[in-house]
Structure 1
Amino acid sequence: MSLDRQISELTSAVQSSRDGIDDSTRFKAIKAAQGLLAALGSPAETVIQDVVMNSVLLMALRMGVQLDVFKTIRDNQNHATTTQQIASESGASVVLVDQIMRLLAASGYVLEEDVQSYKPSPLTMVMAEPTFEATTRACFDIGNFCTTRAPEFFRNNNNQFPKSAKDTPFQLAMNTELSYFEWLGHNPSLAKDFQQWMTLKQQTTPNWADWFDIKGSITDGFNDSANNVLLVDVGGGEGHYLHALNEKIPTLPGRLVLQDLPHVVSSIKTPPKGTDLMPHDFFTPQPVKGARAYFLHWILHDWADEQARQILTNIVEAMEPGYSRLIINEYIIPNRHCDFPTACMSIMMMVQVGAFERSEKQWRELLNSVGLEKIVFHQPPGGGEGVIEAVKSHK
């Protein structure tokens, strides 16, 4: 059997059984497929793809969102959409649209039906969703600007790690003295896009509630009396993880508390079941004392150790020694063989906020420095964000 026939049959087998493949098997298969691509291509082809082509595709995707390409093709999926139609509806020139569509078709983001005529692919349907449009804007208009200016920033500071959240490639890229989050406060449109990107990331990342032993670590041993709090989701956004927790364990004991900044809390339309909404800045003292668990997801990776200690200290001071648990749901960088998405995320933290994803050693040192002990690390099946448990020292 020819090589292309073998690959075709394997592809068909995967497509027919995709829903039955568990995450661990899927991640291993993806890694094997990436190895196959590397074996089929030459090193020079790989470098050209990464250095020359990838940034151009990102620009074309951003233009596709700007010109409503994906929504136009999706909404007209029973008939082919022409370059002329896209140009007419967007006000763009036909020559510009033709350039963008050629690359989108070559990369599978649309299907080329005929000359200058297109129909939707599965990627078209995804890119037409509002959350993916918002993600594209946020990641290009902020993230791509930062990575583009990063070499210049590091050349100017003698190739040193950023000294603070206000001294990063982000400030150079945006010509501002504000920190990333301060700047978002002055740019509400991109702030909204960023929030949708965060929601999308949560929805497409394996949820800790699906694999972590919540019963053994949190609900067992909970003092279920007198309106006690089971878990506080600190900086929990719109409550995605508390919704998932309720779905996983519908009969959770005690109260749940969702904390975030006032403008986030006031925008929540559907609070998680059994949850108190509480405006709170995690740089101020934690108002909920003696909860069974304090949960942090995607908080500490936004901050260097100095600020992370401030956040943690406020929580530790509210914890009851031997009873309260700190639960951190973030990447735990391995000493070797870090996966591609995790390595990318760590660099994005560096160029935007002067922080990074932490290794097990770095996590342990940070948590020990604020009086936390009995630190346990849990890695998820198939890779992704792990869970770190810690308790307050009796000292």
Structure 2
Amino acid sequence: MVELNGTSAPASDSHTGTQIDQIAVSPTAPDQVANLAQTIASLSKAFTAGEAGARLQLLEAADSLVSALETPRETILRYCWRNPTGFAAIETGINLGIFRYLSDHDRPIPIAELATATASDIVLLQRIMKQLNAVHAVTETGRDEYTSNNFTRTVANTRYADAFPTITGTTSPAITAIPAFLRQTQYQNPTNGLACPFQQGFNTKYSFFDFLSRDPTLSAQFNNLMSVYHQGRASWMDPGFYPVERLTHPSNHTDSGILIVDVGGGKGHDLNEFRAKWPSARGRLILQDQPGVLAEATGLHESIERMPHDFFTEQPCKGSRAYFLHSVLHDWPDDTCLKILAPLRAAMTPGYSRLLINENVIPDRGAHWQATGLDWVMMADFAGAERTEAQWRELLTRAGFRILKIWTGDAWSESLIECEVVE
């Protein structure tokens, strides 16, 4: 390892100053531009024709084209200037009510009117609006005049807007602390949720969830983020993903009468979605989480039962057809995951009950940034992880489960890991 403490030169300094300056202002991958442009042209036609999956493929190709055309210097400025300041401008816009005001008025809004509506300094507001337009959060229609776009209208809604204060209040300082934390720990993989970048970034002794529980406003914002981040991604219960009939067939019912127990299910968005998409499915649907979280689970279908439960304790629902964990295990290192899985294994009926884990399965090659980025969030906040298939198999084998199949909808969405108990 090359030390970067001022006593040793980084390996890249083998290039002369002139050479590195030329590299820094040249496109990163000019040889890829022509092929990517052709791919974009083809995918644009597919998208216009309404072909399934074309939009996401086009988005990936467009991102690759930007990366190929962008110079290293421009990439540096994007990470150092555009992304963090764009985030700050958007959160400020949320706090001021800018997005809501623009969305409530179906016309261009002059800056003077917006300053009056938000009770903000007009010079400051000009700076805010120029940055929001630069990152496409609003649309500039003239000099000091702005209107809404679909992003504006989305973050005008509290459920979506809460992503920004949630990340500020729970995650950004922890992510910023990662490089120093890893250096101090000699680059060992974090495995202790009470000694990870979160504690360093927030200067706290508490775990993530203990820290969160002490701030009701932040807790509510976090639950809103959890309720929307899955939106627009392939869902395990959609046709062509997981064959739900495996669970719902009449021959697959026992005296327990429970179809799905959503363990740590938050505000119940998964069970609500299931009931909407599979209205005739027989069996009880049970939502389990902490009492404070369940209290915020409004708008649940009347058939969904709330059950306060700590998933580290004995599972009260015995012999259920399915125990469902959505984005639970990635919050925890392996040893803690084993403690979460043990009560479920004890409650399951061998040969009948299924454990369904809805999480990312990181591929060996070509992993998507949504999965790898979330992996770093888990590292920062929990000493948790998004796992590869090999890591999932190792963990679940240790916990006494056999993976029947890993079901995957597309490269941009979480998988469904279907397991049974090993007798």
Tell me the equivalent position of 2:324.
295
TM-score (norm 1): 0.90
Q: Deviations over 1:88-122 (max 9, x none)?
A: 33343222211111111122211222221211122
Does residue 1:38 correspond to 2:29, yes or no? no
On the 8 A contact 2:223/2:267 being kept in 1, the answer is: no
Contact 2:191 2:333 in 1 (8 A): no
Structure 1 equivalent of residue 375 of structure 2: 346
User: 187, 192, 201: which is aligned to 1:173?
Assistant: 201
Amino acid at match of 1:384: S
% identical equivalent positions: 33
Residue of structure 2 in register with 1:359 after alignment:
388
Aligned partner (choices 95, 101, 106) of residue 77 of structure 1? 106
**Match 2:51 to one of 3, 6, 21:** 21
- Superposition RMSD in Å: 2.4
**Aligned to 2:393, what secondary structure does the other structure show?**
helix
Would you say the 8 A contact 1:222–1:230 is kept in 2? no
The AA in structure 1 aligned to 2:63 is: Q
Unpaired segments ≥5 residues, structure 2: 1-33
Deviation at 1:287, TM superposition (A): 0.6
Q: Output the CA distance in 1 between the equivalents of 2:120 and 2:374.
A: 34
Matched pairs, number: 387
Q: Is 1:278 aligned to residue 320 of structure 2?
A: no
Contact kept in structure 2, 1:83 and 1:97, CA below 8 Å: yes
3-state secondary structure, aligned to 1:209: coil
Q: Given that residues 243 and 273 in structure 1 are in contact (C-alpha distance below 8 angstroms), is that contact kept between their aligned partners in structure 2?
A: no
Where does residue 141 of structure 2 map in the other structure? 113
What is the alpha-carbon distance in structure 1 between the residues aligned to residue 38 and residue 191 of structure 2? 52
Q: 1:155 maps to what in 2?
A: 183
Match of 2:27? none
For residues 365 and 111 of structure 2, what CA distance do their matches in structure 1 show?
47
Q: 1:381 to 1:318 in 2, by over 3 A?
A: same
Distance verdict in 2 for CA 1:119–1:12, change over 3 Å: farther
Tell me: higher relative CO, structure 1 or 2? Use CA pairs within 8 A at least 6 residues apart: 1
Q: Does 1:209 align with 2:237?
A: yes
Flag the 1:190–1:256 CA change in 2: closer, same or farther, 3 A. Answer: same
Q: Structure 1 residue 128: deviation in Å?
A: 1.2
Match of 1:124 in 2: 152
Q: Which stretch shows the higher mean deviation, 295-304 or 97-106?
A: 97-106
Please give the alpha-carbon distance, in whole angstroms, between the structure 2 residues aligned to 1:308 and 1:6.
Answer: 46
Give the letter aligned to residue 380 of structure 2: V
Q: 1:258: which partner in 2?
A: 287
Ranges in structure 1 where 5+ consecutive residues have no aligned partner: none
In 1, distance between residues paired with 2:222 and 2:230?
12
User: Relative to structure 1, is the Cα distance of residues 179 and 374 closer, same or farther in structure 2, using a 3 angstrom cutoff?
Assistant: closer
> 1:248 — aligned with what?
277
Instruction: Give the letter for the 2:112 counterpart.
Output: Q
Q: CA deviation at 1:126?
A: 1.5
Alpha-carbon displacement from aligned partner over 1:31-72 (angstroms, at most 9, x marks no partner): 222222233333332232223321111111111112221112
Q: Contact conserved, 1:286 with 1:314, CA < 8 A, in 2?
A: yes
**SS state at 1:310 partner:** helix
The one-letter code of the counterpart of 1:298 is S
